[in-house]
Amino acid sequence: MSTATATLPIRVPSVGESITSGVLGSWKRKNGDSVASGDPLFEIETDKVTSEVFAEADGTLEILVAEGTEVKVGQTVGNLHPGKAPARKTAPTETPKKETPAAKAPVRESSPIPSPTLVRTEADTAVLSQSSARSDRESRKKMSPLRRKIADRLVSAQHTAAILTTFNEADLSNLIALRTEVQSTFQAQHGVKLGFMSFFLQAAVHALRAVPAVNARIEGDEIVSQHYFDIGVAVGTERGLVVPVLRDCDQMDLAGLEKSLAAVAARARDGKLSLPDLEGGVFTISNGGVYGSVLSTPILNPPQSAILGLHAIQQRPVAVGDQVEIRQMMNLALSYDHRLIDGKEAVTFLIQIKKFVENPALALLRLTPGS
């Protein structure tokens, strides 16, 4: 005697202790599709992260909740039915009633009365045409929880911190030359390309050690000094800007940093970051240069006290000794909380970054530049 497999409800999973609800972002399968265990079913968007939910068993998908609906953790949003798809419930179609001659209202030929739905004044026509024009020129959609959270954090940072930005520039000619020279060997040996960000991550570790005030945060009326180097790297995705954190950057060489960067960037673009990926950073690097930005003032990522902004590399004439040479220059910007970090410390920090990336052999040898 066989026992039929029961229908399995699909519920919104818990994605973090502080998260109780989210928005059902998109279904990865259609209603009635057959799915296998492990197949992605839908995305849940919260104010911190977007996560995929996967099928726990084989079956046929029945969708109960539409995309874009706000849902709570534990709520059932669909079912997995064993075997074939269940018959879908459809609303009965009404058959239009045929009018009998007796049901028709008499119409006098001498005084025709036009239907009210056809009566339209010049003012009505103007309103309709304006509404049609607006609908053609505009569209509206609700902000995602992630976008709302980003907006709230940016505004909060502006209101709660005394943000100041200091600038400098770095000559990346030596870094570009070294990267070009060792790229093929590096990639063959480590299976990943050598980029620029790994050098800046090592530079940040060095600068955070040299200027400990930057590796601290304000918590109430206390200054919390951090003695570790978990650094966030801002990544732009279709859902918005996220900042996954690379752990213990001081313990990794260039290859380790590049591999970690590739892994978190892939998870960010695929919407597979988890809450631990986003928490606990002490400092952030944001590279607007990949979009062509030449100069900007990055906003703090609370509760961090500083953020480094990188910009596009440009060829510019630079005085080198007694000569003018065309060099590969990048503008650097450090935004910081002036309540905690003084101007002298901020400038010193940025100069340490500059010295490190202008002498890229230091990163390969894991040395530090002289003061």
What are the residue boundaries of the structural domains of the chain, listed by start?
A: 8-81, 145-365
Band (pLDDT 50/70/90 cuts) for residue 20 is: confident
Q: Look at domain 8-81 and name its CATH class.
A: mainly beta
Q: Over 70: is that where the pLDDT of 131 sits?
A: no
pLDDT at 368: 63
- Of the pLDDT bands very low, low, confident and very high (cuts 50, 70, 90), residue 305 is very high
Give the three-state DSSP class for 292. Answer: coil
Q: Is the pLDDT of residue 100 over 50?
A: no
Per-residue pLDDT reduced to its tens digit, 172-190: 999 999 999 999 999 999 9
The model's confidence at residue 93, banded by pLDDT at 50, 70 and 90, is very low
* Structure-derived torsion over alpha carbons of residues 55, 57, 60, 65, reported in degrees to the nearest 10: -40
Name the residue type at position 35: V
Are 60 and 86 within 8 A, CB to CB? yes
More confidently predicted of 275 and 127 = 275
Confidence of residue 328 (pLDDT cuts 50, 70, 90): very high
Fold agreement between 8-81 and 145-365: no
Between CA 64 and CA 67 the distance in angstroms is 10
Tell me what pLDDT residue 97 has: 46
Residues with catalytic roles: 338, 342
Give every strand in the sheet of 8-11, ordered side by side: 8-11, 76-81, 59-63, 34-35
State the pLDDT confidence band at 151, using cuts at 50, 70 and 90. Answer: confident
Residue 222 has pLDDT above 90, yes or no: yes
| DSSP secondary structure of 59-110 | EEEEE-S-TT-EEETT-EEEEEESSSPPPPP-PPPPPPPPPPGGGSPP--TT
User: What gap in Å lies between CA 230 and CA 337, rounded to an integer?
Assistant: 19
Reported as a single tens digit per residue, the pLDDT across 29-54 is: 999 999 999 899 998 887 667 778 89
Determine the pLDDT at residue 84. 53
Per-residue pLDDT at 249 exceeds 90:
yes
Q: Which of 160, 151, 154 is nearest to 338 (CA)?
A: 160
State the pLDDT confidence band at 157, using cuts at 50, 70 and 90.
confident
pLDDT at residue 13, as a whole number: 87
Residue 119 is predicted with a pLDDT of 45
Q: In this model, does residue 137 exceed pLDDT 60?
A: yes
Q: What pLDDT shows up at residue 112?
A: 44
Q: 10 Å Cβ neighbour count for 77?
A: 20
Q: Give the best-scoring range by mean pLDDT among 30-34, 83-87, 349-353.
A: 349-353
* Minimum mean pLDDT range among 14-18, 212-216, 333-337: 14-18
Q: What is the mean pLDDT of residues 232-248?
A: 86
Per the model's pLDDT, the better-predicted residue between 171 and 132 turns out to be 171
Torsion of CA 45, 160, 287, 325, to 10 degrees: 170
At the top level of CATH, which class does the domain 145-365 belong to?
A: alpha beta
What is residue 146's DSSP assignment?
H
- The mean pLDDT of 222-231, rounded to a whole number, is 96
- Rounded Cα distance between 112 and 79, Å, is 58
- State residue 270's pLDDT score: 81
| Gap between the Cα atoms of 7 and 189, Å rounded | 50
Residue-level pLDDT at 45: 80
Confidence of residue 23 (pLDDT cuts 50, 70, 90): confident
Q: Provide the mean pLDDT of the chain.
A: 83
